[in-house]
Amino acid sequence: MCPVIKLADRPELGVVYDIMHPFRDGETLAETMVQLQGLIRHVHFHDALNDRKKVVVTPMGKGQLPVDEILDALIKSGYNEYLSGEWFHDMYGSEPEEALGLYMQEISEMLSKREIRPGTRR
């Protein structure tokens, strides 16, 4: 996909980077960042188990994805847009308000450690 987007050479084209899928496919963070450099327009940011057979999203820090390293790589790449959460009913419980509230708390803590205030651009 990335070679096609690069070949099109259109600044309005980009990718949604769901951080779980490259890891489930065995791609390293370094490989992912090289492929997506300059193309990331939106990020699905969550933790998960590294299970190739099924999607198992977990609370932040409870899965197997290197979420801190990924966040640092995104910041280093110049990504300055939204990190979106996805609600999976078995992630934190059955209520989306509760699940997304916990997600926001976890993301806020990760950003605060990097002196970034949620909802702002650097």
* pLDDT 10s digits, 33-77: 999 999 999 999 999 988 888 888 888 888 999 999 999 999 999
The candidate with the shortest Cα–Cα distance to 45, out of 20, 64, 14, 69, is 20
First CA to last CA distance, the chain? 29
Residue 84 lies in a domain: yes
Residue 98 lies in a domain: yes
Neighbours of 84 (CB within 10 A): 14
* Residue 99: pLDDT over 80: no
Alpha helices in 1-122 (DSSP H): 2-8, 20-24, 29-36, 67-77, 89-92, 96-112
Q: How far apart are CA 92 and CA 19, in angstroms?
A: 19
> How many structural domains are present in the chain?
1
Residue 53 lies in a domain: yes
Tell me the β-bridge partners of 18. Answer: 44
Q: Which residues contact 35 (CB under 8 A, 6 or more apart)?
A: 2
32-36, 89-93, 105-109: least confident range? 89-93
Residue 118 lies in a domain: no
Residue 3 lies in a domain: no
Q: What is the DSSP letter of 56?
A: -
* Residue 94: pLDDT over 70: no
* % of residues, the chain, pLDDT over 90: 55
Residue 44 lies in a domain: yes
Residue 25 lies in a domain: yes
* % of residues, the chain, pLDDT over 70: 93
Domain residue limits at 64? 15-112
78-82, 97-101, 112-116: least confident range? 97-101
Residue 77 lies in a domain: yes
Token output for 92: 């934190």
* Residue 92: pLDDT over 70: no
